[in-house]
Amino acid sequence: MSAVAHTKAITPPDIRSRKGGTPLVCLTAYTTPIAKLVDRHCDIVLVGDSVGMVLHGLPSTLGVTLEMMVMHGQAVRRGLEQALMIVDMPFGSYEESLEQAFRNAARVMAETGCAAVKLEGGQAMAETIRFLTSRGVPVMGHVGLTPQAVNTFGGYRVQGRGGDAERVGADALAVREAGAFAVVLEKVPEALARRITAEVAIPTIGIGASAACDGQILVVDDMLGIFGDFRPKFVKRYAELGEIAEAAIAVYAQEVRDRRFPAAEHLFGDAPRTVNGGEVA
């Protein structure tokens, strides 16, 4: 298994400089153990608001709070050494005003140690992105399907088909002109993703887009087969860890019912045992 050989922690300018180069590898993480697993293989680790659905059982990302993002961001930070850590700004934490956006983004950066934040929206969020980036907050944009606007879209539908392609293209351009160092393209037609990648002078990170994007991102629980039966078309399952875990749990449950666990090797006696002259518990 190959891993990216980093000599130092990756920064937002490093990511921006990778435009048109070796594709950027990105995954989500929400816990310290997963962060440690993905760190040396990824360029970007995103603490996504998808945590609400993946770990908290919420029906969408709309119920995710700033406190949840900070808590999971702190956990991920403890597991990273090299990858660039980005934290999602949750719904309602940046839309009200420029001042609200800066106050909450600054809190996220200060309390988690992340190097950048991600927020959803294109032309409508350009002023906010410009306000943040001009005040020292690196921003990754997110256009196409933006899950926080799922009610506006009427579901998790492909964006940018037909005449709607111009809107998505204009959103990506607006994000770049506002100062974002990269932009996620979610659930857009391949031809449109290729066009935007060619036209926008910052890295595009695809999810349900095109292999021509400058990088790819997936929810780690999806690609490892942990997150139940959720199988969107754009996800490739690289493992089925959920099935493996359930099988192990079933064996454990049966051994408990059969009184085969715990066995002698798992128990403590009244006096310490000695092995090769040494005392063990």
The first and second tokens of residue 206, run together, are 């695809």
The predicted model scores a pTM of 0.92
- Residue 222 annotated as lining a ligand binding site: no
The first and second tokens of residue 227, run together, are 């997150």
- Residue 17 annotated as lining a ligand binding site: no
The first and second tokens of residue 181, run together, are 């160092």
Task: Look at residue 2 and tell me whether its pLDDT is greater than 60.
Answer: no
- Residue 43 annotated as lining a ligand binding site: no
Of these residues, 81, 95, 127, 186, which one is catalytic? 186
Q: Strand, coil or helix: what is 107?
A: helix
pLDDT in tens, 48-98: 999 999 999 999 999 999 999 999 999 999 999 999 999 999 999 999 999
Q: Which of 243, 206, 230 is nearest to 54 (CA)?
A: 230
Domain parsing of the chain, residue ranges: 12-239, 243-280
- Residue 120 annotated as lining a ligand binding site: yes
pLDDT in tens, 189-235: 999 999 999 999 999 999 999 999 999 999 999 999 997 677 788 89
- Residue 134 annotated as lining a ligand binding site: no
Domain 12-239 carries which CATH code? 3.20.20.60
Q: Is 186 a catalytic residue?
A: yes
